[in-house]
Structures are given as structure tokens and as C-alpha cells.
Structure 1
């Protein structure tokens, strides 16, 4: 059983303008996205170089990780 408590999510559009939402859980190493009404989920290697680089980039832009609070 996976925890899937994604801290990070991204929103993107493809060339046709269709919206894609992506949620990542680095704790259980699971990714889920919805595109064109279809949900897709799969595991990923959170320790891979590309995954570590993505996590680092996400953390740089994570206000909650820097002690900022929303009002």
C-alpha cells in the first residue's frame, strides 16, 4: 500500500492545449497524472539523478520549506 501524500504537483499544457496535472510523492515514490480524462499512476526511482534534481528544483520554489506562511 502506498502512502501517496504528494507534496508537489505541477500543471502543464501539451501542444494541443490539453491540461495535464501531475502529482508526485517522493516518500512512496509514486506519480499520478490526469490527462484527457484518464488517470495514470506509476512508481518512479526517487533516488535517480533526474529525480533528485527535480526534487531540488521543487524545494527551491517551495515557500513552506523556507518558513513562509500564507495568511
Structure 2
């Protein structure tokens, strides 16, 4: 009877090791998802700044054009 008990303990240890490995993989995946979310947020913010910069440039050009058109009339 001692042999089956030992075999069960071996299987339980293997199962525990596998579950521990999968928990680590799940934690790593969660960290990668967080990092990816942060990266996307950063890119979004950079895109907003770029668009804002372009908008400001366009507004300056439009203002200069309006002044030039006003000088012609």
C-alpha cells in the first residue's frame, strides 16, 4: 500500500510544479499586457502632441495668409 501513496505524492508534486509554472507564465503575460497598454498610451499622447503642433502651425499659416489677403484689398 505504500507504493500507490508515494505515486500519488509524486503526481501531486508534479501537478503543483506545473501549476506554479503556469502561474508564472500568467503573471508574465499580465505584465506584458500592462507594458503594451502603457506603450499604446504613450504613442497616443505623442500623436496628440504632433497633431496639436500641426494644428498650431496651420493656424499660424492661415493667420499670415489672412493678413496677406487683407493687405491686397
Interval of TM-score (by shorter of Structure 1 and Structure 2): under 0.3
* Structure number with bigger Rg: 2
Which structure shows the higher helix fraction?
2
Which structure shows the higher strand fraction?
1
**Structure with bigger RCO (C-alpha 8 Å, 6+ apart):** 1
Normalized against structure 1, the TM-score is what?
A: 0.24
Normalized against structure 2, the TM-score is what?
A: 0.23
